[in-house]
């Protein structure tokens, strides 16, 4: 078997793309999107007509409502290809407004349901701020499932588990990026590969905690920089992988063994913990990497949301 097929023995493979025309060749179960991926897709000639058609059909609506129509349209196309779920992201500019995120999620779910898609096939994606986690807590109680993204710190993962979140997306590659940049010329790649990669270590810690204490929230490693990071997390509940890395896995027949195992997690020397708002904010602030990358991620997604707005305004 190639490495992609080997990985599927241990882990649910998810495609991290807005380019739904690429999906079928990798046969992922689910797919994830975000404003940056959708922006990248709609600038390709193959997708420009879909954008123009959707904007034209909703000319009289406010711009934010048209954006949601476009995001859901991509989600609907993706769901024609994958048998499982699609993650659709709430505007990152709402990341510190719990009520606004809940309202936006309600609208997105209503659009999917109007198109005949049940809410069990949609994950609402919000940033793992304190406000985002509380929005997810409310939505989960309503039967609207959530994917908490931009997750870099252990405190974020614990709070998500306590909130009953369906799925979290810890960002392996961005954690790796921060530590590599911070180390500068002192960074030795060979010393931080595989299980020694700081991004891999973060996901492995969260996975072990969830399995040891029976937290039902699924762990989906995300934001990979190389195949080695993926191999080091084989056995994680889910991994969301970009098309180029899916292709690299598909092209290799090298052995790929399970790295994370729930039975092994039971033996981990860790203790249960919990966070209220004050302790969560302090823990996040104390983690320089997580604090930096969360803020940077929200800024980047918000900037791409502004660009997407601009593209749509130009078509109205």
Residues that are catalytic? 125
Q: Would you say 229 and 199 are in contact if contact means Cβ atoms under 8 Å apart?
A: yes
Distance CA 47, CA 41 (A): 6
State how far the alpha carbon of 104 is from the alpha carbons of 51, 69, 70, 94, 125, in Å: 20, 12, 14, 9, 11
86 within 8 A of 34, measured Cβ to Cβ: no
Exposed/middle/buried for residue 286 (C-beta within 10 Å: 0-12, 13-18, 19+): exposed
Residue 262 dihedral angles phi and psi, to the nearest 5°: -60, -30
Token pair listed for 138 = 């409310």
């Amino acid at each position: 078997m190639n490495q992609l097929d080997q990985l599927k023995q241990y882990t649910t493979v998810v495609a991290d793309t807005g380019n739904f025309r690429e999906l079928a060749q990798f046969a992922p179960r689910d797919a994830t999107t975000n404003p940056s991926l959708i922006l990248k897709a709609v600038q390709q000639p193959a997708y420009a007509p879909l954008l123009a058609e959707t904007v034209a059909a909703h000319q009289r609506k406010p711009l934010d409502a048209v954006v949601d129509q476009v995001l859901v349209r991509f989600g609907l196309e993706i769901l024609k290809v994958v048998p499982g779920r699609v993650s659709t992201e709430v505007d990152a500019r709402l990341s510190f407004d719990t009520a606004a995120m809940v309202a936006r999620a309600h609208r997105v779910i209503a659009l999917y349901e109007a198109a005949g898609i049940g809410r069990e096939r949609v994950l609402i994606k919000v940033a793992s701020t304190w406000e985002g986690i509380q929005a997810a807590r409310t939505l989960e109680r309503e039967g609207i499932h959530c994917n908490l993204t931009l997750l870099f710190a252990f405190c974020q993962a614990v709070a998500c588990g306590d909130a009953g979140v369906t799925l979290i997306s810890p960002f392996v590659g961005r954690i790796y990026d921060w530590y590599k940049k911070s180390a500068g010329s002192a960074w030795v790649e060979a010393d931080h590969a595989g299980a020694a990669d700081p991004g891999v270590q973060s996901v492995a810690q969260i996975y072990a905690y969830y399995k040891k204490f029976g937290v039902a929230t699924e762990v989906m490693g995300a934001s990979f920089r190389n195949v080695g990071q993926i191999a080091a997390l084989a056995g994680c509940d889910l991994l969301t992988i970009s098309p180029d890395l899916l292709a690299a896995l598909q092209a290799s027949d090298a052995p790929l063994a399970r790295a994370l195992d729930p039975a092994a997690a039971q033996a981990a020397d860790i203790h249960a913990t919990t966070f209220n708002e004050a302790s969560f904010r302090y823990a996040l602030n104390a983690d320089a990497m997580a604090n930096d990358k969360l803020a940077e991620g929200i800024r980047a997604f918000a900037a791409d949301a502004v660009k997407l707005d601009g593209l749509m305004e130009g078509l109205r």
